[in-house]
Chain A
Amino acid sequence: MKLNNINNLLTTYPETLLKSALEKIKSEGYKVIGYTCIYVPEELLITEQTCPIRIIPSKNINSKYVPSFVCPVARAILNNILDLKDYIDAVIISHTCDPMWRLYDILKWKFNKPVFILRVPHNIDDTSRNFYINEIFRLKTFVEKFIINKFLEDTIINAIYLCNRARRITKEVYYMHRMKSLLSNYQLFNLILLGFIWKKEDYIKFSSSINIDKYRYHGTVRLHVSGSSVFDTEIFKIIDECGGIVVSDDLCTGSRYLDIEISNLNDDVIRNLCLAYLDRPPCPALHPLNDRLDYTKTKYISSNADGVMVISTSSCDPILYDYVHIRRMFREMNVPVIHIDYESVSREYDRLKTRIKAFMESLGV
C-alpha cells in the first residue's frame, strides 16, 4: 500500500470509515456481527460466513432515545447501530457498565434483528470464570442458531491465530511509536480502531505495510493515558499538537485490548479463550479495583512516562469513581495527574487544548 494512502487512512477519523468497511464486508458475502466491548471474543465470531465488527460510536452524540446525561459513547454507539442497521445482521452487547446494559434494552425494542447480551461478571474469581464460560457457550449457541449452522474447531483455531497476529502487529507499531516517536498519537490510536472495524486479514495486510520510519512526528512529553474506551481519537490529535507522546495506556481501545495472547490451543480451546479474556487486566467497571490500579501503575513505571492523563467522557461512571483512587495513588508517587473529561472533543476542542497544554507545560519537560 502506498504511503499516501496509509497516511490518509491513519489520519481519517475511523468512524467515517465504518460504513465503507461494512459495505466491503457485506459485498464479500459475510454476515456482520456488531459488538460493543472487548469482553466479546472476536475469535468466536470469525467464521467462513461471519465477520465481527466492533461498533464504534457515531460523531453524533444526540439521541432521541437516551437522556443526555447518560454516557455519550453509549448514545453514539446506539446511533450508529440504528443508522447502519441494513449492514448489521446481529448485535452483541456486553454488560459491563449501566449504559451498555441499557443499550441492550433499547436495541431489543428498536433493532429488529437478533440481539444478544453477554453478561460479564463484575467480580473475577473461579465461580465467575465458570459463569463466563457458560455465557460464552450461550453466545456460541446464539450465533449457531441465528447466523451460522455450526462452529468448527478448526475455524476457531484459525481465528485465534488471526487475532493473535493482528494484535501482535499493532503492538509492534505501538512499541516503535513509543521508542522513536515517529507516528503521531492520533495515527496510532486510529490504527487500533481500524483493527476493530476491518476484516482481520485486511487489517493485518494494512498494518504490516506501515513503515514507521517514514513518519516524522516528534512528541517530547511522555504520557501514560488511563481510561476505558477512547473512541474520540481527536483527543490524541490535541495531545499531538501540545507535544505529547503517549508511551503507555490502560485503555480498552489500547493496551487492554492488545495485551492478550491466546495460547494453549491443544486442550479445551473455548475454555482457554474464555479464561484469557476474563483474566485480562480488569475493565474499570469490574472488581477488584486494586488489580486495575496495579496494572496502571506497572504500565506507567515501565514506560518511564512524565505524567498521567486520565481521559473519559464526563458521564463515564467507572472512571469518575476510579479517578479519585488513581489520582491518590500517583500523587503518593509524586506523579502529576490530570483528568480530561468531555462530551464531544470536536465541540470542546479549544477548552480541552488549553487544559492539556497547561498540563504539559506544568510537567516542565
Chain B
Amino acid sequence: MKKRRRVLETTRKITNIVLQHYTDAWDHKDKGKPIAWVTVFTPVELLHAMNVYPLAPEQFAALCGARGYILEYLEAAEREGYSRNICSYSRCVLGYVLSGASGGFPPPDILITFRNSCDVYVKWWQSIHMHTGIPLFIGETPYVISDDDLHNYVLDYVIKQLNKLISLLEERFNLKYDEEKLVEAVKLSDEASRLWLEILNYRKNKPCPLGGRDSASDIFPLVILQGTKMAVDFYQELLNEVKLKVRNKEGVIENEKFRLMFDGIWMWYAFNLIRYLEDRGAVFVYEPYSIAWAYRMDPENPLESIARKIIDMGLNVDVELRKKKFLVNIKDWSVDGAIIFSNRSCKTWSAPQVITVDMLTREYDIPCLVIEADHDDPRQYSEAQIKNRIDAFIEMLSERK
C-alpha cells in the first residue's frame, strides 16, 4: 500500500528557501551591504525596504535544534557562565557567538530588537552587544492593554522609535529611506499574511489538509521574509496545494480521529512526537503560534501599520485581546483537545497558560494536556514521560467521542 506523505510538497521547499535566505545574506554581506541580526517581530519590512538584510538568529537556533547540533552551542554559552535556566534560543546564539563559529550565517553590522515577545530579548541582545561590540538598537513596544493603544500615545511612541531606527540606519550605513519601497514591502507583507490566514482557514476542513509538522516549518517566510516576493510566492503555492487537498478530501492522515490544538512553540528536536500523535489518529489543526505571525497591514500608512503590527502581536496583548485573537473562534476548527506546552525557555508564554487552560476547559469544553519541556534544549525533555501522558490523553479523548 502506498504510504501517504505526511508533509506537503510545498512545505518540503522550505529547506531550499532557508538555504536561499542564508545564501542571499552572504551575497549581501559580500557586496558590503549591512546585515542586521533581529529578534522576531522586528519590522523586517522596513529593513528589506532599506536594503538592510535581516537575519533572525532565533531561526538559526531552531534549525540547530531540529538538525541535532545545538548542544555544542548550548554548552559553549554555559561554559561562559550562562545559566541553563535562561532561554535556550539565546544560549544557542550566545554559544555560537562565543565559540567563534562562522559559516552558519553572516555576522551582523547592527543588532536590532523590539521588546514585544519577551523582556529576555533586551538581555539577550545586550549580551551579544557586550561580547561583540556591534552597535545595538533596542526598541520598546509597550504591552497593549486595550485597542485604544493602537491609536493613542503608545502607537506614537513606537512610531517615534521607528523613525529613530530609520535615522540610525541612514546615518550608519549611508542609506536613504524611500517610502515608496516601504509601501511595496508592506503590500507584499500584507499579501503573505492574507494568504497564510486563508491557508489556516482551510484547516477547518475534515480531514485537515495541513498538519503541525507543516505549520511549524511553513511560518519561516512570515518570520523573516515578510515584505518580499519570495514569501508571497511560497504562500500562494502552499495555498494552491492546500485547496487541492481539500477538494480531494485528502488529509494529513488517512483516518483522522482527533483534532488538536497546540499552544506554544514547538520542541524543535522532537518532531517525531507529531508522528507519534498522527499514528494514534490525532492531528494538529490549530495553533495560536501559527496565527500570530500573520498581520493585515495598510500600505497607505506603512510606518503606522508596521508600528501597530509590532505591538499588536500575540504575546504582547492583554488576556482579553489574546482571547479575541486566538480562542473566540476555536470551535470553527472543531478542536477535540489541546496540548499545552509549558516551555521552560519561554516564561512569557508559559506563565499565564493557566488562563488559557481555564478558558479552553470552562468556556469551550476543550480538555487540555499540559506537557513540560524546553523548546530547544533536548536535555530538558523526557520522551517516555511525555508519550505516556499523551497516551492517557488520547484514551480520554476516545472516551469523549
Contact = CB atoms under 8 A, between A and B. Distances in A.
A102 B352 contact: yes
B17 interface: no
A321 B138 contact: no
Contact of B143 (A69, A101, A286, A320): A101
B351 A98 contact: yes
B351 A320 contact: no
29 contacts: A69-B372, A95-B142, A98-B118, A98-B120, A102-B347, A102-B348, A103-B351, A105-B351, A106-B354, A108-B319, A109-B319, A121-B140, A122-B115, A122-B140, A127-B164, A128-B140, A131-B153, A285-B123, A287-B122, A289-B126, A314-B83, A314-B85, A315-B85, A320-B83, A320-B86, A323-B83, A324-B80, A324-B127, A341-B83
A102 B351 contact: yes
A130 B154 CA distance: 11
Contacts of A285: 119, 122-123
B227 interface: no
B82 A321 contact: yes
A134 B153 contact: yes
A285 B120 CA distance: 8
Interface in B333-354: 342, 344, 347-348, 350-354
Contacts of B120: 98, 317, 321
B352 A322 contact: no
Contacts of A66: 351, 354
A327 interface: yes
Contacts, number: 131
B81 interface: yes
B123 A321 contact: yes
B145 interface: yes
B351 A67 contact: yes
A243 interface: no
A84 interface: no
B205 interface: no
B258 interface: no
Interface of B: 80-83, 85-87, 90, 115, 118-120, 122-124, 126-127, 130, 138-140, 142-143, 145, 153-154, 157, 160-161, 164, 318-319, 342, 344, 347-348, 350-355, 358, 372
A265 interface: no
Contacts of A106: 351-352, 354-355
B354 to A, nearest CB: 5
Interface residues of A, number: 48
A327 B145 contact: no
Interface string A324-362: 110100000000000101000000000000000000000
B36 to A, nearest CB: 17
Interface of A: 64-67, 69-71, 74, 95-99, 101-103, 105-106, 108-109, 117, 119, 121-123, 127-128, 130-131, 134, 285-289, 314-315, 317-318, 320-325, 327, 339, 341
Contacts of A97: 119
Contacts of A70: 347, 350-351
Contacts of A105: 318-319, 351-352, 355
Contacts of A318: 119, 123
A97 B115 CA distance: 11
Nearest to B121: A122
A127 B160 contact: yes
A282 to B, nearest CB: 11
Contacts of B127: 321, 324-325
B161 A101 contact: no
B82 A122 contact: no
Given A67-B351, A127-B164, A131-B157, 17 more contacts: A64-B354, A70-B351, A99-B351, A102-B348, A105-B352, A109-B355, A122-B119, A122-B140, A131-B154, A285-B122, A287-B122, A289-B130, A317-B85, A320-B86, A321-B82, A321-B124, A341-B83
In the complex, which of the residues B83, B87, B115, B344 has the most CB atoms of chain A within 10 Å of its own CB atom?
Answer: B83
B350 A67 contact: yes
A321 B126 contact: yes
Contacts of A67: 342, 350-351, 353, 372
Contacts of A108: 318-319
Contacts of B80: 324
A252 B352 CA distance: 25
Contacts of B123: 285, 317-318, 321-322
A102 B138 CA distance: 21
B345 to A, nearest CB: 9
Contacts of B353: 67
A338 B90 CA distance: 23
Contacts of A287: 122, 126, 138
A122 B338 CA distance: 34
Contacts of A95: 142-143
Contacts of A320: 82-83, 85-86
B142 A119 contact: yes
B190 to A, nearest CB: 27
Nearest to B355: A109
A82 B127 CA distance: 36
A361 B123 CA distance: 33
Residue from A65, A66, A98, A323 whose CB has the most chain B CB atoms within 10 Å: A98
Contacts of A101: 119, 143, 348
A332 B138 CA distance: 27
Contacts of B154: 119, 131
